[in-house]
Structure 1
């Protein structure tokens, strides 16, 4: 669906004009809503040919853009909800273990892909260079999205081995890793490792080495990779954390270990004693 839309918008630029796109594909109106606890909703006609999107009037501009894109995903993917408007939790859902969560995760994935098209995001990451936690805020401003949305799309698109976490008051609230990053041992609701500390507000720390087993699922007989951490502390007790692994250096280290194991002489009982 995203590929089809982008094919018809070869000159798409950032920030993506999501309301214009919505109206071009069948959304006839985008309204404010006042329903308590609701973020956005979708009302379609009987033939599913046209629709009306509603958004909470209290949303910031980046959250409103994402809410519109989320509902546009429901509209185009024909996953209209039958249990009321979407909540804030729905717009951050990435699990697929129930039909409801799967629908919301699909709509969120669509919204991220529309607001941060992969070709543009890949070019942005390439121009930014090596991973850095400050890049997340830069991308959020460039694409007109929230920090959370930019972080999620970052790890979806980057070829680097990295992970991004939001930690508030020493508890993990968000944790996403790129495809190249090892399986994480820390998830939403878990206490953060003690290494997550900074006394500089709104300033990224230098990269520091951290204990890999605090963050990753590792077998005891496997060499621990070298994990580096960079973070930005906020006034409200929030820490934006990036973990990074130099995949090329890890491959070289594995090759050296394998070479050493192959060439190491054996002096055990079964060794040749001639």
Structure 2
């Protein structure tokens, strides 16, 4: 993806929502079979023993088909894999640039590939399964952090990791997610509210998990011991991203099982009502001060 990556991501997810509107399928959970029928694409399961790819886009002249992996035994991941192949089909330029070997393009969905076309298809899939117009009401009802992610996951029938990314894309909360494998970062996303906190660093792919964190301690356990494990603690955003000020943070950790990965959700409720201004640099009116100190609750 070239240019502004945040803008490109939003454009891809907006394109996915427009596809659903065009075919009057803008409801949760999105009916992927109906979309396939509407555009003349055949859906078929891959053999359960097939590993190493999440799905395939088949092309024979002007005819297309989608095969999706079932070896993970996870409906959310299967649906995300189908959405990923739809991304290759619908996003401009993909059919001209992605490789087709003997009429099949093999994908690795789930934000694990560095290939820009695979990443674009991932973002399209996230927007297809979890359109912005339908995610907003879910977030207004749910508690911040992991409960919001699980609410999206349940209503959209999406994978937990894809739901976590959509939460970060859409939330007004100051939050971040980190997906790691064997103690190293796979990827990290921050919400817009958290990005405004000054002086932070970024956790890049391959970086070690911050020492002393709950996530690092859980990731260090044998896979069989932590399988399905989840835990929560209070920490400080400085422990994860550094910065210029301490902010109380809730760290929620879930073992994903699949491919030995761990999901971390970091929530900073203290920053939701923060104006991100230095109080020494401005005079606050009585009205503004009253508004800032009046508790706010989600409807």
Segments ≥4 residues shifted beyond 4 Å? 33-36, 198-204, 235-239
Distance 1:162 1:151 in 2: 10
Identify the residue that residue 162 of structure 2 maps to in structure 1: 149
Q: Deviations over 1:198-225 (max 9, x none)?
A: 789745425x24151x32264xxxx325
Distance 2:237 2:174 in 1: 16
* Structure 1 or 2: more helix by fraction: 2
TM-superposed deviation, 1:44 = 2.3
Q: Deviations over 1:148-197 (max 9, x none)?
A: 11111111111222101134554333321112222543233222223422
TM-superposed deviation, 1:65 = 0.9
Matched position secondary structure for 2:172? coil
Distance 1:46 1:238 in 2: 39
Distance 1:87 1:9 in 2: 25
Q: How does 1:63-142 map to 2 (within 5 A)?
A: 63-77=77-91, 78-80=93-95, 81-82=98-99, 84=101, 85-88=105-108, 90-93=109-112, 101-129=115-143, 131-142=144-155
1:216 aligns with 2:229: no
Distance 1:87 1:224 in 2: 42
TM-superposed deviation, 1:24 = 0.8
TM-align CA RMSD: 3.1
Contiguous gaps of at least 5 residues in structure 1: 96-100, 261-274
Identify the residue that residue 52 of structure 2 maps to in structure 1: 37
Q: How does 1:1-274 map to 2 (within 5 A)?
A: 1-8=15-22, 10=24, 12-33=26-47, 36-47=51-62, 50-60=63-73, 61-77=75-91, 78-80=93-95, 81-82=98-99, 84=101, 85-88=105-108, 90-93=109-112, 101-129=115-143, 131-182=144-195, 184-197=201-214, 202-206=229-233, 208-210=234-236, 212=238, 214-216=239-241, 218=243, 223-234=244-255, 239-245=262-268, 246-251=270-275, 254-259=277-282
TM-superposed deviation, 1:115 = 0.5
Q: How many residues align?
A: 244
TM-superposed deviation, 1:227 = 4.4
Contiguous gaps of at least 5 residues in structure 2: 1-14, 219-225, 284-299
TM-score after normalising by structure 2: 0.69
Distance 1:28 1:135 in 2: 33
Q: Which one has a bigger Cα radius of gyration?
A: 1
Distance 2:190 2:23 in 1: 30
Structure 1 residues 135, 73: closer, same or farther in 2, change over 3 A? Answer: same
TM-superposed deviation, 1:233 = 4.8
Distance 1:36 1:249 in 2: 46
TM-score after normalising by structure 1: 0.75
TM-superposed deviation, 1:19 = 1.9
**Contact 2:178-2:189 within 8 A present in 1 as well:** yes
